[in-house]
Amino acid sequence: MRVSSPPAVDISTAWDKTLLVEYLGSIRFKGWTYLHYDQLKRRYQDQAKVNALWSAMKLSRFLSSMYLKPLIGEKGAGVIHVNTTATIQKSCSMVDRLTSSAAETERYEKFDAADYLMDELRLAESIASSQLEGAATTSRVALEMLKVGRKPRDEGEKMIMGNWRMMKYVSERGDEPFDTNELLNMHRVAIEGIDDEKYSPGELRGAADAVVVADHEGNVIHTPPAAEALPEALQKLCEFINIPHEQAEDEKYLHPLVKACIIHFMIGYLHPFKDGNGRTARALFYWYMLKCGYTAFRYISVSTLLKNAPAKYVRAYLYSETDGMDLTYFVNYQCDIVSRAVTEYIDYIKEIIATRTELRQWLYDSGIFNKINSRQRDVATIAINQPGVLFTAMEVSTRMGVSENTARDDLKKLTALGLMRAMKEGKGNVYLSPKSLHELKKWHGKTANPPSAQDW
């Protein structure tokens, strides 16, 4: 993946009134995204005009940027700065309205089992973040492993299990001050036991570690700062993390979402570890959002969308790095991803509500409604919203706050009524949810041999 580095800014052309008017009329007022030089040059054939327009754009951005201290790039890399775009503003507004703890309380007040209803989403980020880093395990098999609690069988499953441990760790960490030792601990939680020689859990890379980022063709696209620069750079990053920018009443203010994206970028840019940097960066993003009260991020998976277009994710990094550490490109892209992820999360909630209503009506019409209690109806609803997923008595016990025997009895009763199917797994049973309400209706009242675990 090749990205053209911008030319030096020519201040003399940047002040040209005609070019400023053209920049405003042809680019800014048309609502074009925050263009990198590599994108701008594809829109014009006249190279001199491209360079002059670029100078005008950069002048505008210089004047409106927020310069971030103590975050300072390597010598020659540029001072780290960020601008505001419409995409960033809209995403910040969306997370304020829809993902805060207050919004969650209002949204779930009618849900008797809200935490369990959202359980699949809670696991999705751990799985997708590892898949983004190369774990070949499918989402369905990964969900089965995490839900059943079996030991991982290969490196891909170990990556997912490790990432689940790290996500659990950051969700419980709270808002204590952050330091380099804590970063090392996070990495250790996620990576330990996968391939310790390859990953070196909880250790910064050394001078002998030739760590670079390459594209799918093997081209080096990023060489991180030298290993000896890491202690000071990470110290500065921790100082930045601990500054309460969201409380500032002057131009030092940063919305938590913007700051979380910046933290994400800096871990990727510094690449402090031999491997596992991307997973650690995304986990830090989540920790900061949760720390600032955006509790819905327990259920919102950014990596699920990132893995669908990994080249765009990498390009956002490259645009920022090649343009003098202007992090606007990366923050803008991440905010767009966050907006889409929040929308999917809200759509999932709406789907649960609609399915609950439809299931309740069908249970009533079929005469089953009065044969099961409200907890069992909730488990049936969860099963419909997690098609083809395995359930265990231990999992239901934990999520529903009942004993394991009660949970097992619930699952057996739902199976007897044709609402789930039992499958042999080891010495006990697990329970398969139907793929849809339509399939559930087909199951009901029919006698069939339950599928084996191998068939699932």
- What tens digit of pLDDT does each residue of 317-337 get? 999 999 999 999 999 999 999
| Residue 292 DSSP symbol | T
The H or E element spanning position 424 is strand 421-425
pLDDT at 454 over 60: no
Distance CA 195, CA 191 (A): 8
pLDDT score of 117: 54
Residue 331 tokens read as 């923050």
Instruction: With beta carbons less than 8 A apart as the criterion, state whether 14 and 55 touch.
Output: yes
Instruction: With beta carbons less than 8 A apart as the criterion, state whether 125 and 286 touch.
Output: yes
pLDDT at 455 over 50: no
Torsions phi, psi of 195, nearest 5? -160, 85
Q: Which of 36, 271, 438, 444 is catalytic?
A: 271
Please state which of the ranges 97-111, 337-351, 404-418 shows the lowest mean pLDDT: 97-111
Q: Give the pLDDT mean for 249-265.
A: 94
**Class of CATH domain 367-443:** mainly alpha
36 is catalytic: no
Residue ranges of alpha helices (H) inside 205-255 are 230-242
Instruction: With beta carbons less than 8 A apart as the criterion, state whether 82 and 69 touch.
Output: no
* Domain boundaries for CATH 1.10.3290.10 within the chain: 72-346
pLDDT at 77 over 50: yes
Count of Cβ atoms closer than 10 Å to residue 182 Cβ: 16
Q: Give the pLDDT mean for 308-319.
A: 89
Q: With pLDDT > 90 as the criterion, what percentage of the chain qualifies?
A: 30
pLDDT score of 317: 92
Q: With pLDDT > 70 as the criterion, what percentage of the chain qualifies?
A: 84
Please state which of the ranges 161-165, 352-356, 401-405 shows the lowest mean pLDDT: 352-356
pLDDT score of 456: 29
Counting beta carbons within 10 angstroms of the beta carbon of residue 397, is it exposed (0 to 12), middle (13 to 18) or buried (19 or more)? middle
Distance CA 212, CA 218 (A): 10
Select the highest-mean-pLDDT range: 24-33, 52-61, 433-442: 52-61
pLDDT score of 426: 64
85-98 confidence digits (pLDDT tens)? 999 999 999 999 99
Distance CA 207, CA 315 (A): 27
Distance CA 234, CA 353 (A): 45
More reliable by pLDDT, 56 or 122: 56
Q: Which residues are annotated as a binding site?
A: 213-222, 275-282
Distance CA 53, CA 68 (A): 26
Distance CA 251, CA 152 (A): 48
Please state which of the ranges 89-93, 294-298, 302-306 shows the lowest mean pLDDT: 302-306
Residue ranges of alpha helices (H) inside 208-255 are 230-242
432 - beta bridge partners? 390, 421
| Residue 136 DSSP symbol | -
Select the highest-mean-pLDDT range: 60-64, 311-315, 321-325, 331-335: 331-335
Select the highest-mean-pLDDT range: 36-50, 359-373, 420-434: 36-50
pLDDT score of 113: 46
pLDDT score of 119: 62
User: For residue 367, what pLDDT band results from cuts at 50, 70 and 90?
Assistant: confident
Distance CA 216, CA 150 (A): 33
Average pLDDT, the chain: 82
pLDDT at 261 over 90: yes
More reliable by pLDDT, 284 or 102: 284
pLDDT at 149 over 90: no
Q: Give the pLDDT mean for 42-53.
A: 86
pLDDT score of 15: 65
Q: Which residues are annotated as a binding site for ATP?
A: 213-222, 275-282
More reliable by pLDDT, 16 or 194: 194
Instruction: With beta carbons less than 8 A apart as the criterion, state whether 420 and 431 touch.
Output: yes
Architecture of domain 72-346: Orthogonal Bundle (1.10)
What is the maximum alpha-carbon separation in the chain?
A: 83
pLDDT at 120 over 60: yes
pLDDT at 239 over 70: yes
Q: Give the pLDDT mean for 39-54.
A: 87
More reliable by pLDDT, 178 or 209: 178
Q: Give the pLDDT mean for 161-183.
A: 89
Give every CB contact of residue 393 below 8 A, 6+ residues apart in sequence: 404, 405, 407, 408, 411, 428
pLDDT score of 449: 43
Instruction: With beta carbons less than 8 A apart as the criterion, state whether 199 and 180 touch.
Output: no
Distance CA 419, CA 414 (A): 5
Give every CB contact of residue 298 below 8 A, 6+ residues apart in sequence: 118, 122, 171, 290
Distance CA 163, CA 157 (A): 10
User: Helix, strand, or coil here: 213?
Assistant: strand
* Domain boundaries for CATH 1.10.10.10 within the chain: 367-443
Nearest residue to 326 via CA among 25, 23, 37: 37
